């Protein structure tokens, strides 16, 4: 009878706050028997997993949290947990499902649930794609706490590793004030990925790293492999997240060199390579906490230069140098951005690349002078040295260069 009463409350024409008060009181008064708790538990799970009403979803969570301390909650129907892990019927509320699975496991990690999670670890990870970083952290924490549920054969380990990379690739960015917490969560997911590789053994770490890079590169270049993975996780709409850059921090230098050689020597089109490089350059601005991004950009630039693919590099430089140059003013971004900016200017030896930023140089120089830190002074000196060289290299633009000359003096 309790679930029926709770459902009827949702139809009352009163404020949501009043409904919540009534539901809380009903739960306190009537959830005193095994039968009542079980029926209410199933209703709470159903609301969270299936309801299209956000308030009803929140009331589902209210029900579940009210039952957490009750002994009767320990007997969660195994069929219901299996359905959460395997059914495709919860797409509308897919962001709730990982949290719901973790909640069920926390209440009673029985042998049956252990078996279920062991059988469906990859599937559960895939279903977390597109969810908040908190949801991803919840699932990787669950798997880390129960390592017996992790796969042991290499094919399945690789599939789980790639599923984690996919989750990082499509984890939505929060509002700016929550970015610090967001990247802390990404760090936990990154460490889980490292943990998977370590558990697999040193003899396969490089292969796992390369498979992760395959997912990453396919994601930032928008090629078929990643799109096929997205179909598998049934996620139609997504934006590639800078959280994916965290994977680059795990790659050993020898693997990086091998991967870069493979990318350059492959039969990928200029358009695909350009898309990947542009994405990496944007990560210099969006994911400054991952210094490996700078190394990857420079490695790819050097490799492409050695192959004589200058038109591709000029296109990327022309597209990104303005935004990267402006970022030199920001201490947080400077160390990652500066080497790439100097490389673009020095390696291109093209007037239009230099002239792309000429108008910006005085204001950026003044900001660096104003900051007057060791970092800003070093950056300013490199900038002025570069300006001297490039103004001599491309003479005949006195009026254009005059503001720079004034700053130098």
Q: What is the pLDDT of residues 302-330, one digit of tens each?
A: 999 998 889 999 999 999 999 999 999 99
Q: What is the DSSP string of 54-88?
A: HHHHHHHHHHHHHHTT-GGGG---HHHHHHHHH-S
- SS3 readout for 355-398: HHHHHHHHHHHHHHHHHCCHHHHHHHHHHHHHHHHHHHHCCCCH
Helix 154-169 / helix 111-127 crossing angle, nearest 10 deg: 50
- pLDDT interval class at 30 (50, 70, 90): confident
Cα–Cα distance, 117 to 60 (Å, whole number): 23
pLDDT in tens, 210-240: 999 999 999 998 777 787 787 777 777 788 9
| CA 120 centroid distance within chain | 22
Q: 280: how many CB neighbours lie within 10 A of its CB?
A: 24
To the nearest 10 degrees (0 to 180), the angle between helices 310-326 and 270-286 is: 20
The tokens describing 383, both together, are: 């900038």
Q: Residue 340 corresponds to which tokens in the numbers above?
A: 């790439």
pLDDT, tens digit (0-9, with 9 covering 90-100), for 114-160 = 999 999 999 999 989 989 999 999 999 999 999 999 999 999 999 99
Residue 366 has a pLDDT of 93
Shortest CA distance to 266 belongs to which of 214, 196, 341?
Answer: 214
Alpha-helical runs (H) found in 89-201: 97-107, 111-127, 133-145, 154-169, 179-200
3-state secondary structure of 182: helix
213, exposed or middle or buried, with CB in 10 Å at 0-12, 13-18, 19+? buried
**Residue 343 in this model has a pLDDT that exceeds 90:** yes
Question: What's the pLDDT tens digit per position in 106-122?
Answer: 888 889 999 999 999 99
CA dihedral 222, 227, 228, 229 (to 10 degrees): 110
Position 74 pLDDT exceeds 90 = no
Distance between CA atoms of residues 113 and 116, nearest Å: 5
Share of the chain above pLDDT 70, in %: 99
Cα(141)–Cα(156) distance, rounded to whole angstroms?
19
pTM (predicted TM-score): 0.90
What confidence category does residue 181 fall into, taking pLDDT thresholds of 50, 70 and 90? very high
Q: Given pLDDT bands bounded at 50, 70 and 90, which one contains residue 407? A: confident
Q: In the predicted model, what is the mean pLDDT of residues 166-179?
A: 93
> What's the token pair of residue 379?
């950056």
Domains of the chain by residue range: 1-72, 76-251, 267-409
The torsion defined by the Cα of 314, 316, 317 and 322, in degrees rounded to 10, comes to 140
> In angstroms, rounded to a whole number, what is the distance separating the alpha carbons of residues 51 and 153?
38
Residue recorded with tokens 């000196």 = 381
User: Is the alpha carbon torsion for 43, 48, 51, 54 positive or negative?
Assistant: positive
For residue 244, which of 200, 196, 183, 298 has the smallest C-alpha distance? 183
Q: What is the mean pLDDT of the chain?
A: 90
Distance between CA 254 and CA 357 in Å, rounded?
A: 35
Question: What's the CA gap between 9 and 43, in Å, rounded?
Answer: 13
Q: Which residue has the tokens 């020095």?
A: 346
């Amino acid at each position: 009878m309790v679930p029926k009463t709770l459902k009827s409350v949702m139809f009352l024409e009163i404020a949501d706050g009043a409904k919540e008060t009534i539901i809380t009181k009903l739960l306190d008064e009537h959830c005193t028997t095994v039968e009542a708790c079980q029926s209410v538990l199933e209703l709470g799970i159903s609301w969270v997993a299936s309801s299209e009403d956000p308030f009803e979803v929140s009331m589902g969570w209210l029900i579940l949290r009210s039952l957490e301390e009750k002994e009767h909650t320990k007997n969660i129907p195994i069929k219901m947990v299996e359905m959460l892990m395997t059914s495709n019927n919860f797409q509308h509320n897919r962001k709730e499902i990982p949290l719901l699975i973790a909640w069920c496991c926390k209440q009673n990690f029985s042998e049956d649930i252990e078996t279920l999670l062991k059988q469906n670890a990859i599937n559960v990870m895939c279903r977390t794609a597109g969810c908040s970083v908190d949801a991803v952290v919840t699932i990787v924490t669950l798997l880390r706490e129960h390592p017996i549920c992790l796969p042991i054969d290499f094919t399945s380990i690789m599939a789980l590793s790639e599923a984690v990379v996919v989750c990082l690739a499509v984890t939505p960015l929060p509002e700016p004030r929550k970015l610090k917490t967001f990247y802390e969560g990404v760090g936990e997911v990154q460490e889980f990925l490292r943990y998977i590789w370590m558990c697999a053994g040193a003899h396969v770490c490089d292969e796992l790293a390369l498979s992760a890079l395959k997912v990453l590169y396919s994601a930032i270049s928008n090629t078929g492999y990643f799109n096929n993975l997205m179909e598998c996780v049934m996620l139609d709409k997504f934006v590639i997240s800078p959280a994916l850059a965290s994977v680059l921090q795990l790659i050993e230098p020898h693997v990086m060199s091998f991967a870069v050689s493979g990318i350059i020597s492959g039969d990928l089109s200029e358009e695909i390579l350009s898309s990947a490089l542009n994405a990496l350059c944007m990560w210099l601005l969006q994911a400054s906490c991952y210094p490996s991004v700078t190394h990857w950009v420079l490695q790819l630039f050097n490799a492409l230069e050695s192959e004589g693919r200058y038109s591709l590099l000029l296109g990327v430089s022309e597209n990104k140098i303005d935004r990267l140059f402006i970022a030199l003013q920001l201490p947080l971004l400077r160390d990652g951005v500066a080497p790439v900016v100097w490389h673009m200017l020095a390696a291109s030896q093209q007037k239009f690349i230099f002239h792309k930023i000429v108008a910006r140089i005085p204001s950026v120089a003044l900001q660096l002078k104003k900051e007057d830190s060791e970092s800003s002074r070093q950056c300013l000196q490199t900038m002025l040295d570069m300006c001297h060289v490039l103004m001599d290299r491309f003479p005949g633009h006195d009026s254009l260069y005059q503001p720079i000359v004034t700053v130098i003096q």
